[in-house]
Structure 1
Amino acid sequence: MDFYDDNELKLIIYVNNSYMNFQSIEHPRMVHVHVNHGESDKLSMVSNRAKAYDKVFVAGPAAIKRHESMLVDFDFDKLIVTGRPQLDIEFEPELEPSLQMDVMYAPTWEGENDDNNYTSIDLYGEEIVDALLANPNLRVIYKPHPRVQASTDRAVAMAHENIVTKLETANSLGSKHLVCLEGNILSMFGATDALITDVSSVALDFLYLHPEKPLVLSDRRTNQANLQRDAPVSQACQVVDASTIGNAVELLETALVNDQLQEAREGMRRFYFGELDRGDSTVRFERVILQLIMERAQKLSGIRQWHR
């Protein structure tokens, strides 16, 4: 509280739901804004804790619908659409495109508990990579979530090691696949012709930046109805699950080479991000921040006058 007061801070932005946030919220004069850490269909993206903040910034219509379907007695006027400002940044490319079709496999990690476990790596990862390696016209870019490398889940750790070994073995025979354990995934999308990933912000960031490129999603629970309800983007993707992994080669051929879902993906981009173009989110984000600071100053001024 002394730090906030000494620096005359006016607004604070929270990127997660840490318990320490709720000590910070005790400060009565600042505007408390929750932005979470991206736009994703993971269960952790909606929490009853949203009621504690003054405002909640969301990416677009899908996030509003997500809150409406999950929260009871929530003031939906707290929700403000600001798009995805992080995606306005022009990152320096980290990968050179190849003459092949460059397909990225980017599994997420296993989460803190089973409800938040969306990874495909332990169930389907090796078979996905095997199916990609079976096509000599593809270059595989393996970019797992950073926490996969240090996973204490034995199945996840083993699958990760086996995938790295498969790619290194293929490279020893003349291929040029990439294992990218470091680096900014957003700066790699430009060299990526298609993405295979899990329910995560990675899928939606790719959808926002490149709706014209094929996107394949995984479903470790093999429940199509629940997946389409909880992750609507799956309605515009080929889906890898227990019922389709046995035909992974054919599924990926359909998804990557004979893509017929571009129009559906463009519709999903509008559902998640509205009509925002690249660059619009930052302008809107800054404008809303300044507006909230101004409105709070006016309210505080009114309170001080009332106390005189």
Structure 2
Amino acid sequence: MESEAVRTVKPGKVSVFAKRAARGLSRRLRAFGQVEPDGFDLDAVPTADIALYFADQPAKLYQLTQWLPVFENQIDMRTIVVVRNLETYNELRALTSLQVLLVPRYEILMALYDRADFHAVIYVNNGWTNFQSLSFQQAVHIHVNHGESDKICMVSNQAKAYDKVFVAGQAAIDRHAAAIAWFDSSHLVTVGRPQLDLEVASPLAKSELKTITYAPTWEGEDEANNYTSVDLYGPQIMQAALSVPDARVVYKPHPRVVVSADSVIRANHKVIVSLIAAAGAQHLYLPTADILGILPETDLLIADVSSVTLDHLYLAPDSPILLTDRRSDSNQLHADSPVSAACAVIDQSSITGINNLIMTNLDTDTHRSDRESMRSYYFSDTEQESSTGAFWSAITTEIAAHDAALQGIQRVRQVGP
């Protein structure tokens, strides 16, 4: 017969009790200084102004790395990068001069935020663990995304969770209004695109040849976010580009094209690379180069609906763009991606004439004035280096406003034991 002192625990609940006990013990040990949380001494963490939060695996590091120089160059505010994944931590430490902390556990994350006294937490994507970070009351939570693009993934209902969402310009404001119900547009702050103010060395040698750059995106997490041209048109585009006399062709795919889960994309990518290899030394496959260093040297860009197209619009407004439309729906393309009005479009009806389309746009630029107006629409200020100032001014303003608002709250979540 079971003793009254013995509690019967149903299967599946032992782990819950064990986790609670472990968390409680961990908190008590840390209070006595007997355990260092997650590889760093919590008491040794300096105070800082900003936490740059990133919880994903290395495959998505491109979302964060484009922001690192913006924060590294800011000497008036201290930033600490907070990651939740060990592989990401190991890779990231070699990529930045910023302090990087690995914080897998939620309770340590909250203790860190409290210890560092962060005034702002910055998010570059909508990873699901962002929701854990958002529970910290004392900082303003700002979403900055990882590019300016007309992809549907650039607008999410998750935007409602952040205190502020920083966007590049009017196009992004309109994009949110078109895609999210019950969204307060006053949460949007226009700052331009600070990454485009950075000086990025070109990987291309100076040449008298015209440069044609094919920079396709990947297939996305689902079909709604699939804008790639690699599977439908990739080899045809490359063959046509390589046939242009007195030109060099640069192939710079999105990093995730190279490791795509789609067998057709992988196969076509290999075909494209082999075409370049067979065509001559002046043609280049640059999988790891910074696209921002390539665009200013590009005479004709061939790209998909992605941030590459809009970055080119900003950095090289004198250079024409061929924009792909995998769905061959011109009305929807113009509605979803207004920049298409300033581009020649490659779709099912025009791909058969791709050779002529490329030559015509190299010889006669009929969209120059359209691109200039679109440039102003997508980016709040088209003066070089203006975005960086606007970005940091907005950060400072939002921190000050949130710090002032904190004085009026009466209940604060307690951190620690």
**Would you call these one fold, judging by a TM-score over 0.5?**
yes
Q: Report how far residue 97 of structure 1 moved.
A: 3.0
Per-residue CA distance 1:10-29 (angstroms, 9 max, x = gap) = 10111100110011111112
Q: CA deviation at 1:191?
A: 2.2
1:165 aligns with 2:165: no
Pick one of 96, 117, 127 that aligns with 2:205: 96
User: Would you say how many aligned residue pairs link Structure 1 and Structure 2?
Assistant: 301
State the alpha-carbon separation in 1 of the partners of residues 408 and 219 from structure 2: 49
Query: Offset of 1:176 from its aligned partner?
Result: 1.3
Deviation at 1:298, TM superposition (A): 1.5
The counterpart of 1:202, out of the listed 308, 323, 336, is: 308
Q: Higher helix fraction: Structure 1 or Structure 2?
A: 1
Larger radius of gyration: 2
Q: For 1:211, which of 304, 317, 328 is the aligned residue?
A: 317
Q: Write out per-residue CA displacement over residues 88-145 of structure 1, whole angstroms, 9 at most, x where no aligned residue.
A: 0011222113211111000111111111110001111111111112222221001111
1:145 aligns with 2:251: no
* Alignment counterpart, residue 337 of structure 2, candidates 231, 243, 250: 231
In the superposition, relative to structure 1, how do residues 99 and 276 fare at CA in structure 2: closer, same or farther (>3 Å)?
A: closer
Higher mean alpha-carbon deviation, 275-284 vs 1-10, is at 275-284
- The aligned counterpart of 2:299 is 193
Q: Give distance in 1, aligned partners of 2:282 and 2:182.
A: 54
User: Could you tell me whether the CA contact under 8 Å between 2:190 and 2:380 is conserved in 1?
Assistant: no
* 8 A contact 1:64–1:79 mirrored in 2: yes
CA distance, structure 1, for counterparts of residue 241 and residue 405 of structure 2 = 59
SS at match of 2:177: helix
Percent sequence identity over aligned pairs: 48
Q: Give the Cα separation in 1 of the matches to 2:303 and 2:382.
A: 24
Q: Match for 2:245: what amino acid? A: P
What are structure 2's unaligned runs of at least 5 residues? 1-109, 411-417
Paired position in structure 1 for 2:245: 136
Report 1:278-297 matches (<5 A).
278-297=384-403
Residue in structure 2 matching 1:220, options 301, 313, 326 = 326
Q: Conserved in 2, the CA contact under 8 Å of 1:96 and 1:191? A: no
Secondary structure at the counterpart of residue 121 of structure 1: coil
Partner of 1:301: 407
**Residue 133 of structure 1 contacts residue 140 of structure 1 at CA under 8 Å; is this kept in 2?**
yes
Asked if 1:12 corresponds to 2:121, the answer is yes
Q: Could you say what the CA RMSD is over the residues aligned between the two structures, in angstroms?
A: 1.1
Where relative contact order (Cα < 8 A, 6+ residues apart) is larger, the structure is 1
How much has 1:164 moved relative to structure 2? Answer: 0.9
Could you say which residue in structure 2 is the equivalent of 1:48?
157
SS in 2 for 1:123: coil
Summarize the alignment of residues 30-109 of structure 1 with structure 2, pairs less than 5 Å apart: 30-109=139-218
Q: Counterpart of 2:214 in 1: which secondary structure?
A: strand
Amino acid across the alignment from 2:238:
V
> Equivalents in 2 of 1:81, 1:234: separation in Å?
22
Local SS of the residue matching 2:232: helix
**Gaps spanning 5+ residues in structure 1: where?**
none
